[in-house]
Amino acid sequence: MYTLIGSTLVTLMVFLISSNARAYTNDFSLKAGLSFSQSQFNSLEDKTDPNGEEIDRNDTNSYGVLTTYSYKWTRVTSGVESRILLGKATDLAFNLENQTIKGQGSIRTVDITPFIQYNSKTFKIPGKVQEFFTGINISPWYGYIKFGPSWMLQTIELDEFDVQSKFKSGHKLTYESVGINLSLGLEEDTPYKDMHPVFIEVSGSMYESYKVSLVDKSDSKEINILGSREAKQDIKTFSLVVTLGMTLF
C-alpha cells in the first residue's frame, strides 16, 4: 500500500511540471467517488503497555464515498469536500473520563474539508501506454495538489469492550477533531465537464480531537448526549485515503 502511494507521489511530481491546460473552466462541478482508507489512531494513554513496551496497534481499514462541490478557474479550483467512511477496528483503546476503554467495534468518520487546489498543465499519456490499453480512449490528464483545514467527527461503537463503569452497549463515543488534509491527484482533462472526467487521488490527513461526547443511541429518533468534555489530544488520527471517482455534473 505504502509503496504504491510512494510511486504515485513520485509520478505526480513528474507530471506536475509538464504542459497546456484546456479543460472546462469557470464552472461549478459536483464530483463523487469511492474511497478506501487506512487509519492509525493514537491515544496519549495507550502508547505503551504496562511493561513499558510500545503497543503496535492494527490499522483500521475503512470504505466509503467522497463528494466534492467546487468551482474551477483555469489553474485553480476551490470548493468543499466530504468523506463518509465506515470501518471495523479490532484493536481500539480510548480514554474516557480517566478510564481506558478497550475493545473492538465499528468506526464511522465524516469529515468536511474546504480546500484550494492547484492544477498542473496538461500532459498526454505516452503512446506506448496508450497502445497497451487498446480500445480505451485515454484523454490528456493533469495533476493537482490540494489542501485545506479539515473537521472530522468519529463515531465509535464498540461491540465488545472492557471497561469498569458507565459505558454501556447502547452507547457510542463521538470524537470531534480538527486537522489538515493534503491530496495529490490526477484528473482527465476534457473540454466539457459533461464528458464526466475521471480522477484518482491520494489524500493524507492528520487530526487531533478537541471534544468527546458520550451518547445514548438506544432511541434512534432522539439522541441523548450524556456528557461532553474537552478532549484535547485524546485521540490522534492519521489517515491515508485513495479515491477513484468522476465528475457527475
Partner 1 sequence: MSKLLLLLFLYSGTQLAIADEQVAVLDKVKSPVRELPALPNKNKYQRKSNYYYTYIDRDHTQEENINNIAAIYGVTWVIYPLTQLDVVREKGSLENYRNNFGKLVFDQDEPFWNWFVHPISGSQLFLFYRARGYSRSESLTMSFISSSLFEFTVEIYTEPASVQDLYQTPILGSVLGLGIEKLSLYLLNTGNVLGKLIGHAINPSTLLWYYEGKVRVIPQIGKDQAGLNVHIDW
Residues making contact with partner 1 (CB under 8 A): 27-30, 32, 67, 69, 80, 82, 84, 108, 110, 112, 151, 153, 155, 174, 176, 213, 215, 217, 220-223, 225, 248-249
Query: At closest approach, how far in Å is the CB of 82 from partner 1?
Result: 5
Query: At closest approach, how far in Å is the CB of 53 from partner 1?
Result: 36
Please, which residue, 110 or 163, has the CB nearer to partner 1? Answer: 110
DSSP 136: -
Please, which residue, 36 or 151, has the CB nearer to partner 1? Answer: 151
Amino acid at 119: N
* Grid cell listed for 163: 471497561
Spell out the residues 6+ positions from residue 212 whose beta carbon is closer than 8 angstroms to its own: 96, 173, 174, 175, 176, 228, 229, 231, 234, 235
Please, which residue, 54 or 219, has the CB nearer to partner 1? Answer: 219
Query: At closest approach, how far in Å is the CB of 226 from partner 1?
Result: 10
Q: Are strands 171-188 and 141-162 parallel, antiparallel or unpaired?
A: antiparallel
Query: At closest approach, how far in Å is the CB of 4 from partner 1?
Result: 28
Please, which residue, 85 or 89, has the CB nearer to partner 1? Answer: 85
Please, which residue, 9 or 30, has the CB nearer to partner 1? Answer: 30
Q: How many CB atoms lie within 10 A of CB 57?
A: 17
Q: Diameter of the chain by CA atoms? A: 65
How far is it, in rounded angstroms, from Cα 194 to Cα 226? 48
Query: At closest approach, how far in Å is the CB of 110 from partner 1?
Result: 6
State the DSSP H helix or E strand holding residue 107, giving kind and residue range, or none if neither.
Answer: strand 99-119
SS3 at position 65 = strand
